[in-house]
Amino acid sequence: MAKGIEDIELSSKDRKDCEKFTSLFNQESNSDTSEDNVESIQKGVIIKINDNVVMIDIGHKTESRISIDEIKDDNGNFLFNIGDEIDLLVSKSNGRTKISHKQAKKQIKIREVIQELKAETNDLINKIIDVEIINKNRNGFSVKWKEKDIECFLPMRESAIKPDSKQKNIKVCITKINDNNIIVSRKRYFDVVNKNKKEKIKEILDATEPLKGEVVNITQFGIFVSIDGIEGLVHSSEMTHKNFVNPSSLYKVGDSVLVKVIKYDEEKQKLSLSIKALSKDPWEDIAEQLQVGYTIKAVVSSIQPYGAFIDAGNDIEGFLHITEIAWEKNIKKPQDYLKIGEEIDVEIIELDLSKKRLRVSLKKLTDKPFVQFSKKYKVGNVLKGSVATLTDFGAFIRFGNIDGLLHNEDLSWDKQKKCKDVLKLGDEVEVKITKINKENEEISLSAKALLESPVHIFNKEHKIGDVIKGDIVEIKDFGIFVKLNDSIDALIKNEDLYPLKKDELKLGDNIEASVAYIDLQNGKIRLSVKKLARKKEQDEIKNYNSDEKMTLGDILKDRLK
């Protein structure tokens, strides 16, 4: 878990180091520094090394000592031996003397860096540097200048750091240097940055020529461009005169671009830039060149799940919606029909100059599927298709990119069968075209037309006058229907019911009648109870007459004998 500034734990060694920097800072800040409160770099000789301390001769009457850790590296190896001369920071305060080898090394490096900086330039004040917070005490922070690997002091009153801040890496300005230390300020850094930013923004806003900038970040909605350290946004709508662009497809981080300032929000300090403002809007001249209905050549510039964008030339971009790619229904992937960079002919279906919108169609340049179908097929043709849709009233059979309707009543001679009960999506079905409606662009199909009609089969097995039985399945105003088998219902008209009484009949009653009419063309059969009754009556009379003649003959025969 990251620690806040207040949570930094200081070891006794780190606390002493920080106090050294505080002491140096206080010395620089107080003009009445006492001669008995001074520090200096001196040489000393190691005269003895014990388990925990090192005895040093620095030329005083008494020997001084340092911790044994001061002459070891990070791995615990000794850096010096008895008799070696080493650098020491000697601090005298209130009659007491303290020495440190490690502090001497730090001071020596600080002095070397300061001398180098002074040699490079005389103006070090307000120089911005990157530092890392190392330690903290009540007077300020010990920070490491990353580039030079030396420690500087950041006074508390100049830190602008909140107590609960977890920041470790910050930017500061050098505010004071001397031969021993460097004082920095974060507050001064903010002042310098704000001042520089205001000056740069004023220069940018006053510019009359295009400004050169560098792309520093790319997002889905645009690119951020840095102009002398000042960042501004070029929104995707301000990149080109095209309606839709993908910023990452046009630019990459580090690209150099020319921009124009179009807006500055002083309150939010947001700078809005434009690239397209530096070129003429091609839509100004398009009205004289293009009209709805024109066919133009275009290049596919990008493909999206919902369609494709086409480059019509002169930085004019149009949109080809997925429904305008082909006449085929339910296109899922435009890339199955188009390729980026492909040149295609398209028809303009919408041109809105006010909205800079150009919509085109690819399918309008080809015949509709219905026209193609009607040119290729005619009523009576038999062909195979696949079940595309199932409904309560039938099924739509697909032939390439067009559907025809197979109604339930045209599926089978069995009237009880329905398409959704016997077919499933994708099934191959052989059908006959029964109607092509050019006005409504509808195609009617029949599967039962390819099968022998039950009436034809009935006609082979029966003739007019045959007696047949069936159950009443329907009673109408004009008569009743009798079921002969699963596929055939025959009609008995009211006038053919005699001597039966219609009002005494009910569904399910078994009726006996004779075949009165077989309509092969329309698949209908009529029965007649009346004709059957008449036939029976005639047969009875015939039989009766035959019996009478036989009796008279017999009598005459006997008399002749």
Which pLDDT does position 454 carry in this prediction?
Answer: 86
119 or 407, higher pLDDT: 407
- Give the Cα separation of 6 and 164 in Å (integer): 6
- pLDDT tens track for 137-156: 888 999 998 888 888 899 99
Kindly state the helix (H) or strand (E) to which residue 188 belongs, with its residue range: helix 186-206
Q: At what angle do helices 101-120 and 12-29 cross, to 10 degrees?
A: 50
pLDDT at 13 (0 to 100): 47
Least confident range of 85-94, 214-223, 391-400: 85-94
Assign 1 a pLDDT band (cuts: 50, 70, 90). Answer: very low
* pLDDT value of residue 477: 93
Q: For residue 417, what is the DSSP state?
A: -
pLDDT band at 233 (very low <50, low <70, confident <90, very high): very high
Q: Alpha-carbon distance 185 to 164, whole Å?
A: 19
Asked whether residue 9 carries a pLDDT value surpassing 50, the answer given is no
State how beta strands 307-313 and 343-352 pair.
Answer: unpaired
Residue 225, both tokens: 């461009």
Lowest mean pLDDT across 150-159, 179-188, 521-530, 534-543: 534-543
Q: What percent of the chain has pLDDT over 90?
A: 41
Collect all residues with Cβ–Cβ distance below 8 Å to 35 and sequence separation of at least 6.
none
What pLDDT, on the 0 to 100 scale, is given for residue 416?
A: 82
Tokens representing 197 are 């930013």
Q: Tell me: pLDDT of 61 over 80.
A: no
Percentage of the residues of the chain whose pLDDT score is greater than 70: 88
Look at 199 and 94; give whichever has higher pLDDT: 199
pLDDT over threshold 80, residue 29: no
Query: How much is the pLDDT for 257?
Result: 93
CA neighbor of 389 nearest in space, from 420, 429, 421, 430: 420
How far apart are alpha carbons 297 and 301 in whole angstroms? Answer: 13
The DSSP code sequence of 416-447 is T--HHHH--TT-EEEEEEEEEETTTTEEEEES
Mean pLDDT, the chain, as a whole number? Answer: 84
Give the lowest-confidence range in 62-76, 172-186, 328-342, 513-527: 62-76
Q: What is the pLDDT of residues 286-310, one digit of tens each?
A: 877 888 999 999 999 889 999 999 9
- pLDDT, greater one: 21 or 495: 495
Q: How confident is the model at residue 553 (pLDDT cuts 50, 70, 90)?
A: low
Q: Look up residue 39 and give its two tokens.
A: 């520090």
Cα distances (angstroms) measured from residue 376 to each of 371, 372, 399, 440: 9, 6, 12, 18
Position 10 pLDDT exceeds 80: no
Residue 39: name the closest of 53, 22, 56 by CA. 22
Q: What is the mean pLDDT of residues 236-256?
A: 86
Whether residue 119 is predicted with pLDDT greater than 80 in this model: the reply is no
pLDDT for 396 equals: 96
Q: Is the pLDDT confidence value at 26 over 60?
A: no
Out of 233-247, 315-329, 355-369, 384-398, the most confident range is: 384-398
pLDDT of residue 269: 81
**Two structure tokens written together for 371:** 């026209």
**Of the candidate ranges 4-8, 94-98, 189-193, 293-297, the one whose mean pLDDT is the lowest:** 4-8
Note the pLDDT of residue 12. 47
In this predicted structure, what is the pLDDT of residue 7? 40
Position 11 scores a pLDDT of: 44
For the segment 208-214, the average pLDDT, to the nearest whole number, is 91
Most confident of 30-34, 57-61, 197-201: 197-201
pLDDT of residue 214: 93
Q: Which residue ranges form the domains of the chain, and what is each CATH number?
A: 5-188 (2.40.50.140), 207-278 (2.40.50.140), 291-365 (2.40.50.140), 369-450 (2.40.50.140), 458-534 (2.40.50.140)
